[in-house]
Amino acid sequence: MAKRTRRPGSFGYIVSKGTSTHPNFSIRWKEGRTQKRKSGFRTRTEAAEALARVRTGLGDGTLVEKRRAGIGFVAVARQWLDLHSKPSLRSHVDNEERYRDHVAPFFGDCPLSAITPTRLLEFRARLQAKGLAPRTVNLVLALGRAMLRFAVANGHLASAPTDRLARGKLMLPIEKGKLAPPIAKPEEVGALLEEIRERFPHRFALFATLVYTGMRRGEACGLRWQDVNLDRRIITIRRSYDGQTKSGSHREVPIPGALLAILRTHRIAEPFQGEVVFPNNNGEMLSPNGKLQDLLRIALTAIGLARIRLHDLRHVHASHFLMAGGNIYDLQKNLGHHSVAFTAAVYGHLSADHRVRESDRLSFDAPELGRLLPFEAAAK
């Protein structure tokens, strides 16, 4: 028969279940209203020491932290994908694929406490060994980092192991080259829009809006007339085709004079006269799928320009805005980038070229400054 050993006012008690020849002890204690137990101790001393560790761990919180860290990585990853990525992120499909192909096979259902900075660097080396491009490696690492930070936010970890790595030691360095304008000359952009007007007049206003405002194609397809103020010449971008904008926030974009005339004409001529600015053939919201890309490809081929993506029209806008003397701070607001630094990193070289041209404005009325002395005279 089991014998309990418990002192008045003590934390928990020890239960002896064995015999004199085969001793076996277990410990029991209460956490709130829950009865806890642990068995398998060969001596009473081992059981007493274990009970003391439990009491200390509950007192300083280390036991609770250890339990939380013992939760499997799969459970936290699935929570992040289902509760955060799926309802909130436009990249959810890509996140699911990266988790399935790269993250899950490496970590499996190991406890969170087993994911250390060293283990993360081993994961990075494994991704590189697969021959993945540095940018792809960084995207997978960023996914794992987001999941581990989610574990911290939910109390499973005190800190994310990714954050214990020194700054810049997790992600691979990627040298970003200067982004050339997808269409170099303003007259070529004009020729493209004219070709689209001739071939696909029902989509001309959409393409013109992409070029003149730099909005994303999903934002243009989700645009409503209630968000277009032709009198103030302002478009308020509140949504994308499939939900919220990429940044999750609203922004206002100015309507250039040339686009204003196009939108006024489109507003009158559009046959459905519904709330969607650029409807499909049924008067409903237009899908930003490959059909628009096909129209762009046909127009580019017709005028002899190299093929570009539909998203590159956003870069066309940004490039020519800066090369025409536009302010990079205004461009950041128009594009909806999270910071001027990001916009400058992508397009700053174009702004610098403009500043070089602008420096030619300096002209001092001192003709002697332009006369060079002979080298012999200068040496004296």
| Res. 345 pLDDT band, cuts 50 70 90 | confident
Dump pLDDT digits (tens) for 287-299: 887 699 999 999 9
- Predicted confidence at residue 369, as pLDDT, reads 53
Higher pLDDT, 204 or 36: 204
pLDDT at 54 over 90: no
| Res. 241 pLDDT band, cuts 50 70 90 | confident
| Res. 346 pLDDT band, cuts 50 70 90 | confident
pLDDT at 212 over 70: yes
pLDDT at 87 over 70: yes
pLDDT at 342 over 90: no
Least confidently predicted of 61-70, 103-112, 222-231: 61-70
Token pair belonging to 164: 């214990």
- Predicted confidence at residue 128, as pLDDT, reads 95
- Predicted confidence at residue 62, as pLDDT, reads 64
- Predicted confidence at residue 360, as pLDDT, reads 77
pLDDT at 269 over 70: yes
Average pLDDT value over all residues in the chain: 86
pLDDT at 177 over 70: no
- Predicted confidence at residue 362, as pLDDT, reads 72
- Predicted confidence at residue 64, as pLDDT, reads 59
- Predicted confidence at residue 38, as pLDDT, reads 84
Dump pLDDT digits (tens) for 117-136: 999 999 999 999 999 999 89
pLDDT at 63 over 80: no
Mean pLDDT across 91-107: 93
